Amino acid sequence: MSSNTLQVKNLSKLFGENLAVNDVSFHLEKGEVLGFLGPNGAGKSTTMRMLTGNLAPSNGEVKICGIDIIDEPKKAKALLGYLPEMRPLYKELTVDEYLSIAARFHNVPSSKIRKSVDFAKDRCGLSHMSKRLIENLSNGYQQRVGIAQAIIHNPEIVILDEPTVGLDPIQIREIRKLIREIGQQHSVIISTHILPEVEMVCDRVQIINKGDLVFHGSVEDLKEQRKGNKLLIGFSKVPTIAKLRAIKSVSKVEKDGNGMFRFYFKNKYLPAEEIVSLSVKEGWGLYHIAPDITSLEDIFVNLTKSN
């Protein structure tokens, strides 16, 4: 219980008739990065807005380190750092000015503002941009300012809504590294619809679709779902399917569209060796053999479709 930094119980939000978030419950532990996945309009941002007190839930409760965000918003918000999808930057200010304001708003004592601004800039690689107007910074640097703003008061929970959208690949890598670093000391929730990002950055994953929580587990669970017991094999001289079925431990063989075969086999038996030796013996001309990995996209589509 004590290591739980965030507890969400039966959170719902109705926009008129439209149920945007439906009875979502989860919790977050210290030093954990939680990935929030979902298609567009699934309710990710709405959930995050409710977690940060920007939107009042229709039902349910949110507790930050045991403090209810509706009953004691000031106390709870002091423990939160939030970067919304649209970066809330005052572009007419310089990086230093903006971060000092952020620190002051989050109750950082005035003697420590200088220090925490420097610290946040250092963490986000902004030290050489201190005196620049935010308006003149590139997209990636503006995003860093956004993240710096969210971690400036050393919050317990950092919530980042789609932190890598619109960045170039190098910036994305840097931001991901930054998120992992932050995740070591704080609890982090990030939302995204880039699936590989979740595998790279997160410890746990939550998939939300049309307001419902459809998957909740560790990244390993998600990876487990990907592998399955399948091999994708290509032959240049195609044998009959009956011959292939005869191979030990192969449970099912089906033709792939591209002249390849998909072999399903029983758990813990990997028939690869047998297939290779058989192919050499019979002269089938094996040119491709590889585990058939269901892409994250497929899992995602399956999970979100079935609901």
Partner 1 sequence: MIINVARKELKSLFASPMGWIILSLLMFGFGFMYLDGVNKYFEVMSGSVRPAERVGVTIFVGQTVYGIANFLLTSATPLLTMRLISEERKNQTLPFLFSAPISLTEIVLGKFLGLVIFLSILVLYIFAMLATLNIWADIDFGYLLGNSFGLLLLIASFSALGLYFSSLTSQPIIAAISTFLSLIAMGVLGNYFASDPGHWFGYISMTKHYQSFTRGVIDSSDVIYFILFITTFLTLTVRRLDSDRLSG
- Chain residues binding partner 1 by CB under 8 A are 13, 15, 46, 49, 52-56, 73-75, 77-78, 80, 82, 84, 86, 88-93, 97, 101-102, 104-107, 149
Give every CB contact of residue 230 below 8 A, 6+ residues apart in sequence. 262, 263, 264, 265, 291, 292
Phi-psi region of 167 (alpha: psi -120 to 50; beta: other; left: phi over 0): beta
Distance between CA 307 and CA 294 in Å, rounded?
19
From residue 199, alpha-carbon distances to 33, 34, 80, 180, 271 in Å are: 11, 11, 24, 12, 28
Cβ 210 vs Cβ 38: under 8 Å: no
Nearer to partner 1 (CB atom), residue 80 or residue 202: 80
Tell me whether residue 107 or residue 218 sits nearer to partner 1 (CB atom): 107
Q: Which CB sits closer to partner 1, 65 or 93? A: 93
User: How many CA within 13 A on the CB side of residue 150?
Assistant: 31
Instruction: Name the CA dihedral angle for 4, 6, 8, 13, rounded to a multiple of 10 degrees.
Output: -170
CB of residue 33 vs partner 1: minimum separation in angstroms? 20
Minimum CB–partner distance for residue 46 and partner 1 (Å): 8
- Count other C-beta atoms under 10 Å from residue 222's C-beta: 23
State the alpha helices, DSSP H only, in the chain: 44-51, 73-77, 95-105, 113-123, 139-151, 169-185, 195-201, 219-227, 241-245, 272-282, 296-306
Closest to partner 1 by CB, 20 vs 178, is 20
- Cβ proximity to partner 1, 2 vs 110, nearer residue: 110
Give the Cα separation of 260 and 105 in Å (integer).
Answer: 61
According to DSSP, the β-strands at 187-192 and 230-235 are: unpaired
Q: Least distance to partner 1 from the beta carbon of 82, Å?
A: 4
Q: How far is the CB of 144 from partner 1 (least distance, A)?
A: 16
Nearer Cβ to partner 1 (13/144): 13
To the nearest 10°, report the CA torsion of 219, 222, 228, 233.
-80
CB of 63 to partner 1, least distance (A): 16
Shortest distance (Å) from residue 68 CB to partner 1: 14
Q: Of 54 and 139, which has the nearer Cβ to partner 1? A: 54
Nearest approach, Cβ of residue 175 and partner 1 (Å): 19
- Cβ 220 to partner 1, closest distance in Å? 32
Nearer to partner 1, 106 or 204 (CB): 106
